[in-house]
Amino acid sequence: MKISVIGTGYVGLVTGVSLSEIGHHVTCIDVNQDKVAKMQQGISPIYEPGLSEMMTKNINENRLSFTTDHRQGLKHSDVIYIAVGTPENHDGSADMSYVIQAARDIAENIQQNVIVVTKSTVPVGTNDMIKQTIQSHMAANLQMEVVSNPEFLKEGSAIHDSFHGDRIVIGAESEYASNVIEQINQPFGVPIFKTDIKSAEMIKYASNAFLATKISFINEISNICELLGANIENVSTGMGLDQRIGSQFLKAGIGYGGSCFPKDTKALIQIAGNVEYEFELLKGVVNVNKKQQGILIGKLNDCLPILTGKRIAVLGLAFKPNTDDMRESASIRVTEELIKQGAHVIAYDPIAMGNAKSILNPLVEYADSIEEAIADSEAALILTDWDEIKNIELALFKTMKKPLVIDGRNCFSLEAVESNGIEYHSIGRPVAT
Ligand code: NAD
């Protein structure tokens, strides 16, 4: 199969590379010239474990190429994937401008019949709109169909997820289009669920909203645990043993971030609102998350009410481990608040510091190691549970001016901390000293 992918972000690049790995000939198109120049040299513009190696292999085997030219990139393709961004508008709805532009790019450049597959997360009804947009701009002698194929990869394990995902959802109008996309995906060996287009579009939003709900739920329970003296880690473990509940996404922390949950929850509230349905539960989930993101600063201020001139270490900047993605990361809000209160912020992240430098307040300083960040600091805040942070020698915290650790990801057991003379505040657990 000859395939084109429009957009080479986390989803588009991983999709293109994975499809080439299973034998398809893939051309990836992006409007960002710098990104394309890098990818043409085999350099991945994003950090994703295993991606660079697989990308280089498939470029060398002539199954994978990159271009900024839509005409050239779409030439002779049987199937075109749309994987452009759908960021948040000011009112919380999904911004469809990149998707509409991609549809126009397809219409203006195809010279053959195609199936257009939407990977981007889009509101229910968008694939109908994509179809109309393309049909009204393309040459009259051509035929096209649309298929909804939402993406469920997790940043940090995206390549692994392509080959070991829980399901591939294919929403189509015609059996022909549905079967073609099924055949393309069959070599992944992942279970395929075929459905109608609108249901496929909704499956993506409903899945993300449900996972966000689980996170906000356990965070609320953790706050109640703190007030009652229970331990959230024990509570989560005990709850997760019930197979109806499941143990995943029951980890209390400082709330969800990233490029999907924050925008997709708000978009679904809007989608429901458009048909005059008030999604009260999801509104609660969003509000709880906002509150939870502020919880670490509250704990720090309880210990150090005045931060002016105080050196505070921030460990972990990415929104979660194993990614360089800073979108909607808790570190943005936390570092901003620390600076606002006059603190001298020294940050460290194993991978995301490059991206962080263009996003965080310019007053944030960066250390080359955990050791450098915490040395002489008056408090260390842990925002991301990278293995490097979880595996730290706890005695290292004694190099701080005062060994005060405020952990937003519950990286350490209370027993381990207690024998190390650290004042340790975490989420949903008693304070350890
Ligand atoms: P991204 O912002 O990282 O990448 C989008 C890319 O599309 C950019 O490189 C941009 O330059 C390019 N682009 C925009 N318009 C273009 C056009 N007309 N032609 C060619 N290139 C164009 O986005 P992402 O994180 O990969 O997300 C893409 C979609 O997938 C979104 O709808 C998102 O909600 C969804 N999604 C993301 C994830 C994730 O973990 N990132 C997971 C599942 C689904």
Give the ligand 1 atom nearest the CA of 264: 34
Does 218 lie in the same domain as 181? Answer: no
Q: Is residue 376 part of a domain?
A: yes
The finding on whether 156 has its CB within 6 A of some atom of ligand 1 is no
Number of structural domains the chain divides into: 3
Residue-wise pLDDT for 85-127, tens only, equals 999 999 999 999 999 999 999 999 999 999 999 999 999 999 9
Does 411 lie in the same domain as 303? Answer: yes
Q: Is residue 359 part of a domain?
A: yes
pLDDT score for 90: 95
ipTM: 0.99
Q: Please tell me the distance between residue 152's alpha carbon and the centre of ligand 1 in angstroms.
A: 13
Does 341 lie in the same domain as 301? Answer: yes
pLDDT score for 420: 86
CA dihedral 76, 44, 317, 263 (to 10 degrees): 0
Does 243 lie in the same domain as 261? Answer: yes
Q: Is residue 22 part of a domain?
A: yes
CATH code, 15: 3.40.50.720
Q: Is residue 433 part of a domain?
A: no
Evaluate the CA torsion angle 344, 346, 352, 354 in order and state its sign. positive
Mutate to test the pocket of ligand 1, among 17, 34, 84, 207 (most ligand atoms within 8 A of CB): 84
Does 257 lie in the same domain as 358? Answer: no
Give the ligand 1 atom nearest the CA of 13: 26
Evaluate the CA torsion angle 227, 330, 204, 25 in order and state its sign. negative
Does 386 lie in the same domain as 335? Answer: yes
Q: Is residue 432 part of a domain?
A: no
Q: Identity (one letter) of the amino acid at 178?
A: S
Angle at 74 between CA 12 and CA 264, to 5 degrees: 30
- Pick from 292, 312, 343: which residue ends a domain? 292
Q: What is the largest CA-CA distance in the chain?
A: 76
Give the ligand 1 atom nearest the CA of 325: 41
**CA–CA distance, 139 with 134 (Å, rounded to integer):** 9
Does 230 lie in the same domain as 118? Answer: no
CA dihedral 11, 390, 422, 219 (to 10 degrees): 50
- Pick from 260, 275, 292: which residue ends a domain? 292
Q: Please tell me the distance between residue 121's alpha carbon and the centre of ligand 1 in angstroms.
A: 9
**Owning domain of residue 383:** 294-425
Q: Please tell me the distance between residue 353's alpha carbon and the centre of ligand 1 in angstroms.
A: 21
pLDDT score for 421: 87
Over its length of 433 residues, how does the chain's per-residue pLDDT go in tens digits? 899 999 999 999 999 999 999 999 999 999 999 999 999 999 999 999 999 999 999 999 999 999 999 999 999 999 999 999 999 999 999 999 999 999 999 999 999 999 999 999 999 999 999 999 999 999 999 999 999 999 999 999 999 999 999 999 999 999 999 999 999 999 999 999 999 999 999 999 999 999 999 999 999 999 999 999 999 999 999 999 999 999 999 999 999 999 999 999 999 999 999 999 999 999 999 999 999 989 999 999 999 999 999 999 999 999 999 999 999 999 999 999 999 999 999 999 999 999 999 999 999 999 999 999 999 999 999 999 999 999 999 999 999 998 999 999 999 999 999 888 899 999 999 999 8
Does 390 lie in the same domain as 253? Answer: no
**CA–CA distance, 93 with 272 (Å, rounded to integer):** 11
Does 281 lie in the same domain as 331? Answer: no
The finding on whether 151 has its CB within 6 A of some atom of ligand 1 is yes
**CA–CA distance, 36 with 224 (Å, rounded to integer):** 49
Does 222 lie in the same domain as 308? Answer: no
Evaluate the CA torsion angle 43, 183, 166, 260 in order and state its sign. positive
Q: Which residues are catalytic?
A: 260
CATH code, 213: 1.10.1040.10
- The SS3 of residue 295 is helix
As given in the structure block, the two tokens for residue 9 are 């972000």
Q: Is residue 365 part of a domain?
A: yes
> Which residue's alpha carbon is at the smallest distance from atom 34 of ligand 1?
121
Does 261 lie in the same domain as 162? Answer: no
First to last CA, the chain: 61
Does 186 lie in the same domain as 242? Answer: no
Are 232 and 222 spatial neighbours (Cβ–Cβ below 8 Å)?
A: yes
**CA–CA distance, 407 with 147 (Å, rounded to integer):** 44
The closest of 361, 8, 404, 18 to 184, measured between CA atoms, is 18
Which value, in Å, is the radius of gyration of the alpha carbons in the chain? Answer: 23
As given in the structure block, the two tokens for residue 292 are 């939870």
DSSP-derived letter for residue 270 is H
Q: Is residue 98 part of a domain?
A: yes
313 burial (CB, 10 Å; 0-12 / 13-18 / 19+) is buried
Q: Is residue 431 part of a domain?
A: no
- Pick from 292, 323, 338: which residue ends a domain? 292
CA dihedral 213, 219, 221, 222 (to 10 degrees): 160
Residue-wise pLDDT for 251-275, tens only, equals 999 999 999 999 999 999 999 999 9
